[in-house]
A and B are shown apart, each in its own frame.
Chain A
Amino acid sequence: MAVLLLAEVTDGVLNADATGKAVTAVKSLGDVTVLCAGGQASDAAAEAAKIDGVAKVLCAEDALYSHRLAEPTAALIVSLAGDYSHIAAPATTDAKNILPRVAALLDVMILTDVSGVVDADTFERPIYAGNAIQTVKSKDATKVMTIRVSTFDAAGSGNSAPVENISAADAPGLSEWVADHVAESDRPELTSAGIVVSGGRGVGSEEDFKLIEGLADKLGAAIGASRAAVDSGYAPNDWQVGQTGKVVAPDLYVAVGISGAIQHLAGMKDSKVIVAINKDEEAPIFQVADYGLVADLFQAVPELTDKL
């Protein structure tokens, strides 16, 4: 058995955290070959070769893969698929876009958001916003899956796996990249941060979200948000935590002015320590919080920022 793992490469840079956690998830399934695809991919491939447990790295450097468009990237993976029993990737938006396409082209079912590997055919995945965990056994010849990385520890580094350059596959020519709209930030990345401070509708405005940012900066934390905060324009979409946003499991998660709807809990309830600050003592967020503080956030957050 052998595993092909699509590494997360953005603008030539390897997301070592997500990729390393995915390696941990799949390494019991066979030799792991990591595929780095991108307009620039050789630096990422060299980084991936250092991840412990990686047997080999394939580097596909071609303008075709610059923006990880689904059609060419899926075609590349399908062209390599014959050698592997499992095809996997961390469950990023890129992989969620690409891997179901790969699965359909191979006529197999996709396993998305795998949170546990039981054996070569059997996997666990959350359903209903994480309110149930389903164990499924695949009957397909090739298992294609995305990995919920928040449930796995990152693999160590110190390895030096061989890197092989491979050529590009066919260009389907169905779509083209137009623009990225990405905010630059010095803050830690949300899904790999050790501490996350999230704000909800209770914060009330984009301006007052500065309170959340101030607390996050003091803690060296990443910033998250509820859907309501994003929909209201207080926070950008890539901060959304939840069933349909990002899934995080930091050491400390601070929820400020968030009620705790199941769709939000789905994205953060595996955090090690949860703090909730809410003026409503009945808010459901307190049912999952290790430490709850019933308070007006406009007083409590500045005070907390001050005392840290």
Chain B
Amino acid sequence: MKVLVPVKRVIDYNVKVRVKGDGTGVDLANVKMSMNPFDEIAVEEAIRLKEKGAVEEIVVVSIGVKQSQETLRTALAMGADRAILITAADDVHNDIEPLAVAKLLKAVIDEEQPGLVLCGKQAIDNDMNATGQMLSALLGWSQATFASEVAIEGDSAVVKREVDGGMQSIKVKMPAVISVDLRLNEPRYASLPNIMKAKKKPLDEKTPADYGVDVAPRLEIVKTSEPAERQAGIMVGSVEELVDKLKNEAGVI
């Protein structure tokens, strides 16, 4: 079986995001970019399935600016076999919407015919949590979102999902789209020899036009603003003082 893993290049999760003064977006100039943390987990899961013999080939796909090839190289260094870069924007501030990403991924999947897609549950920049579900819909496939355990059993997959009430196990028909949650695994680091080897692995470069997909946004960004700031509070010296403040000042207990 072939597995396809979409990986997104996003602002590193440690960076404190700043809204631009003119309200046109957040400042992404010269900030550290990394692979979306959920996508590292998806790549790791694909590699583990390959190590178990359930998977023969791992194809990683990224859609965005040209520099996303760094993200693809990271995935290749972790253990993916082949990469496809779809250059759909020339400015990093120009995010491609999940609907357009899903359409491009569907076109790739029509060509590649993987038996499974493992994607992240959410990109930590736009916080959409939508692409996997949209892709599954466009393909007419089954979906298992927020996976924290995946077991492939013949032509189906049993997935344990993180839901509001706790956990839910479902069985989905393959081919399927599975979106991964934080506790599925701990991604490995790429070793130096593997980073060197990754430079020689195939990376195809494409554009949305190659797939005949229109990536024009459906949502017009009117403005981007700072969230309401919290007033700085006070430090209390003792538990007694804390109880007094909560009772008599804040009135919350």
User: Which residue of chain A has its CB nearest to the CB of B23?
Assistant: A135
Q: Determine whether A230 belongs to the interface, using a CB cutoff of 8 Å to chain B.
A: yes
- Given A111-B219, A231-B182, A238-B164, the answer on whether A127 and B243 have CB atoms closer than 8 Å is no
A29 interface residue (CB < 8 Å to B): no
Name the contact of A181 in the complex, choosing from B13, B134, B168, B233 (C-beta under 8 A).
B168
Closest residue of chain A to B244 (Cβ to Cβ) is: A307
Q: How far is the CB of B6 from chain A (nearest CB, A)?
A: 14
Whether the pair A236, B166 counts as a contact (CB closer than 8 A) is: yes
Complex-state Cα separation, A106 to B65, whole angstroms: 28
CA distance A288 to B246 in the complex (A): 16
Q: Is the CB of B252 within 8 A of A252?
A: yes
Q: Which residues of A contact B171 (CB under 8 A)?
A: 175-176, 178
Q: Is the CB of B144 within 8 A of A293?
A: no
Closest to A122 in B: B222
Q: Please, which residues of chain B bring their CB within 8 A of the CB of A304? A: 239, 242-243
Tell me if B11 and A101 are in contact (CB < 8 A).
no
- Residue B68, interface by CB 8 Å: no
Query: CB within 8 A of B170: which of A105, A175, A244, A300?
Result: A175
B166 touches A273 (CB 8 A): no
* Chain B residue nearest to A125 in the complex (CB): B127
- Judge whether B219 and A137 touch: CB under 8 Å: yes
Given known A71-B143, A133-B226, A135-B225, contact A230–B234 (CB-CB < 8 A):
no
CB of B242 within 8 A of CB of A109, answer no
Complex CA distance for A182 and B97, rounded to whole angstroms: 34
Contact of B124 among A74, A105, A243 (CB under 8 A): A243
Q: In the assembled complex, which residues on chain A have CB atoms less than 8 Å from the CB atom of B26?
A: 127-128, 131-132
Question: Does residue A289 face the partner (Cβ distance < 8 Å to B)?
Answer: yes
Instruction: Tell me the chain A residues, 75-113 only, with Cβ under 8 Å from chain B.
Output: 92-94, 96-105, 107-113
Q: Which of B102, B125, B223, B233 counts the most A-chain CB atoms under 10 A from its CB?
A: B233
Whether B98 lies near A110 (C-beta < 8 A) is yes
User: Does the CB pair A237–B173 fall under 8 Å?
Assistant: no
Number of interface residues of B (CB under 8 A): 79
The A interface, classified by DSSP as helix, strand, loop or mixed, is mixed
Q: Are A132 and B227 in contact (CB under 8 A)?
A: yes
Per the bound structure, the CA–CA distance linking A137 and B166 in Å amounts to: 35
A251→B252 contact, CB < 8 A? yes
The answer, among A113, A138, A262, A300, for a CB contact under 8 Å with B239, is A300
Determine whether the beta carbon of A128 is less than 8 Å from that of B128: no
Q: Does A28 contact B (CB under 8 A)?
A: no
- In the complex, the answer to whether A104 meets B236 with C-beta atoms within 8 Å is no
Chain B stretch 40-84: residues in CB contact (< 8 A) with chain A: none
B29 at the interface (CB under 8 A from A): no
In the complex, A269→B182 CA distance in Å? 22
Q: Mark B146-170, 1 if CB is under 8 A from A, else 0.
A: 1010000000001011111111111
Which of A131, A138, A237 touches B16 (beta carbons < 8 Å)?
A131
Partner among B128, B235, B236, B238 whose Cβ is within 8 Å of the Cβ of A110: B128
The answer, among B134, B166, B221, B226, for a CB contact under 8 Å with A237, is B166
Bound: A251/B172 CA distance, A? 41
Bound together, the chains give a CA A294 to CA B242 distance in angstroms of 11
Residues of A within 8 A of B164 (CB): 92-94, 191, 238, 246
- Distance between Cα atoms of A184 and B150 in the complex (Å): 25
Q: Scan A171-205; emit 1 where CB is below 8 A from any B CB, else 0.
A: 00111111111110000000100010000000000
**B207 interface hit (Cβ, 8 Å):** no
Task: Write the nearest CB–CB distance from A74 to chain B, whole angstroms.
Answer: 7
B87 at the interface (CB under 8 A from A): no
Q: Is the CB of A307 within 8 A of B225?
A: no
Contact A286 B235 (CB under 8 A): yes
Residues of the A chain whose Cβ atoms lie less than 8 Å from the Cβ of B253: 195, 219, 252, 308
Judging by beta carbons under 8 Å apart, are A174 and B172 in contact? yes
CA distance A173 to B196 in the complex (A): 45
**A104 and B122 form a contact (CB under 8 A):** no
Name which of A67, A70, A99 has the most chain B CB atoms within 10 A of its CB: A70
Bound Cα distance A117, B131 (Å)? 23
Nearest chain B CB to A50's CB is how many angstroms away?
23
List chain B residues, Cβ under 8 A from A300: 239
Q: Is the CB of B13 within 8 A of A263?
A: yes
Could you list 13 A-B pairs, sorted by A, with CB under 8 Å? A100-B98, A110-B98, A110-B130, A112-B130, A127-B224, A132-B227, A137-B220, A174-B143, A175-B142, A179-B168, A180-B168, A272-B252, A292-B235
Q: Name A residues whose Cβ lies closer than 8 Å to a Cβ of B.
A: 10, 67, 69-71, 74, 92-94, 96-105, 107-113, 122, 125-140, 173-183, 191, 195, 219, 227, 230-231, 236-238, 243-244, 246, 251-252, 262-263, 269, 272-275, 281, 286-295, 300, 303-304, 307-308
Q: 10 shortest A-B CB distances, which residue pairs?
A: A174-B142, A104-B134, A100-B133, A104-B137, A290-B233, A100-B130, A181-B167, A109-B218, A178-B169, A131-B17
